[in-house]
Amino acid sequence: MRNTTLSILVLAACGAVAWGQTENGHAGQGYVFIAPGAASHDGGSTLNIGGGGEGLLYKGLGVGADIGYLFPRQDFGCGFGLLSVDGSYHFGARTPGRKVVPFVTAGYSLAFRSGHANLANFGGGLDYWFTDRVGLRAEFRDYVWGCYGCSTHFWGVRLGVAFR
């Protein structure tokens, strides 16, 4: 299971970088992350690992996708995959030389293991660019699963590396 998860993350990150490149190199980016968090239904601590990418379509408006694995911290084998497709807005993303780029994001997530579930997600954060190509990504992300009149939240603070 660990090899499969790692393989998926590497492929997603490589595809994101290839998809995001343009003439100026600033219209897209890839990222990898680790996100400590919790689940609202039992308060248990979770860990989410993953990667993905996004491209800017018009000014700061973008679209992206990521894939990850969310699991209880004490039991890697009891987790599930998360595939997300999101819209985003990056404030000041096209400003040359800008080091800090805040963003907001929201979209659809598919949770999968032996079955599947539909979730919504939303969040926000910032990218801090050390160089033109490598940066730090910090983000809060909440996955919301609504079922039978109640909802469960899987939230986490994503910390990772962004690259373009």
Smallest CA-to-CA distance from 64 within 99, 89, 95 is with: 89
Q: Is the pTM of this model over 0.85?
A: no
Give the tens place of pLDDT for each residue, 82-94. 999 999 999 988 7
Number of domains in the chain: 1
Phi and psi dihedrals of 3, rounded to 5?
Answer: -65, -40
Band the pLDDT of 5: cuts 50, 70, 90. Answer: very low
Contact between 137 and 127 (Cβ < 8 Å): yes
Count Cβ neighbours within 10 Å for each residue of 123-142 and write b for 16 or more, e otherwise: bebbbebeeeeebebebebb
Handedness of CA 5, 10, 13, 18 (dihedral sign): negative
Give the tens place of pLDDT for each residue, 38-68. 998 877 899 999 999 999 999 899 999 999 9
Lowest mean pLDDT among 1-15, 97-111, 148-162: 1-15
Q: What is the CATH number of the domain that holds 44?
A: 2.40.160.20
What range does the domain containing 38 cover?
Answer: 2-163
Give the tens place of pLDDT for each residue, 97-147. 889 999 999 999 999 999 999 999 999 999 999 998 999 999 999 999 987
